[in-house]
Amino acid sequence: MPDAPLPLRAHNVLCLHGFRGEGYSEAFIEHMREVRDRLEDDPAREILLRAAPDTLCEACPHLADGGCTLGGRGHEAQVRAQDVEVLRRLGCEEGEIRSWGAVTRRIAAAVRGSDLQGLCGTCPWLSLGWCAEGIDALAARRAEQA
């Protein structure tokens, strides 16, 4: 039986391209690495796009009362708004199921590293530049393959 679609909140499809082995806890890092590696190995893997906590959040110490508390209580609403904006940029809808390969093609076509300043708000990882570099590298790889 095929695996059920992997739930990912929309902005996390961007985060996965900037992951360099750092994160909010050892368990979170381990899970993020496992998910990233699994998706890289299997671009056909189906993703369920969400604007709500996902498989990565489940391992995050900042998940509480069903939402993200990274920026304090009520932060979940801000993160959901970020997810909705990423969905809009990718031309996708909440609840859509797409392959990881299809999602990355959309990212490469619609998002540039310089867009993250506007998309990622107050994310503590933004200033490192890793995510912007990852997104731009993805676009460059796609351009080479075209």
Name which of 127 and 146 has its Cβ closer to ligand SF4. 127
Name which of 52 and 126 has its Cβ closer to ligand SF4. 126
Residues of this chain that interact with ligand SF4 (CB under 6 A) are 11, 14-15, 18, 116, 120, 123, 125-126, 131
Nearest distance, CB of residue 5 and ligand SF4, angstroms: 21
Name which of 97 and 126 has its Cβ closer to ligand SF4. 126
Q: Which two tokens stand for residue 41?
A: 């190995």
CA gyration radius, the chain:
14
Name which of 51 and 120 has its Cβ closer to ligand SF4. 120
> Closest Cα partner for 92 from 138, 38, 45, 51?
51
Nearest distance, CB of residue 146 and ligand SF4, angstroms: 24
Nearest distance, CB of residue 125 and ligand SF4, angstroms: 4
> Closest Cα partner for 42 from 6, 18, 15?
6
